[in-house]
Amino acid sequence: MSATAASDLLRAGHRKIEEHLDPFLHALLHLTPERVGEIRRHFEEIRRLAGPHFEKEEGVFYPRLRPQHPELLAQMDNEHETTRLTERYLGELLASLPEAPGERDLTELHRLGIEFHDAVQTHIVAEEDYLLELADQVLSESEQQVLRARMQEVSSAVRR
């Protein structure tokens, strides 16, 4: 196992989320009523992946680094909150869209969709550039392995 096992688990989670984030953005940038289903599918996948990912971070990874780096962790918490809020609004909008969405529905979907995309993408970049970078410097190899194992327990608990 690598010396950055826990950070790598989170990086791998980000790549999975991005597999849906990129086509989600593409569909939003070329938005037509026919593309709403595609947007919905990618949104649901991002939501399904991000939920347990955030739980691993908030339950295991963040608490380990928080005492030494409270400001950075407060920033990560804020970004999670913004992401969850935007996800909720977008989820509500998608749930209430009529079968044949009009111009105003599409404008709103575009606005909230871009907001959600940007919140997730910005957070992934901040996490990798600051938090994981830092973790790779301060955590020992064995600590990384323990954190990885504990995060994997969180994800199996989520599936139960």
Q: Which residues contact 33 (CB under 8 A, 6 or more apart)?
A: 100, 101, 106
> Would you say 27 or 124 has its CB closer to Fe ion?
124
Return the structure tokens found at 98. Answer: 């009529």
Mask for 18-47, x = binds Fe ion (CB under 5 A) = ------------------------------
Q: Could you give the angle at the alpha carbon of 8 between the alpha carbons of 2 and 9, nearest 5°?
A: 115
57 binds Fe ion (CB under 5 A): yes
Q: How many residues bind Fe ion (CB under 5 A)?
A: 3
Query: What is the rounded CA–CA span in Å between residue 12 and residue 123?
Result: 15
Q: How far is the CB of 144 from Fe ion (least distance, A)?
A: 15
Report 71-130 residues binding Fe ion (CB under 5 A).
127
> Would you say 87 or 127 has its CB closer to Fe ion?
127
Q: Report which secondary-structure segment, H or E, holds 153.
A: helix 141-159
- Site of interaction with Fe ion (CB under 5 A): 10, 57, 127
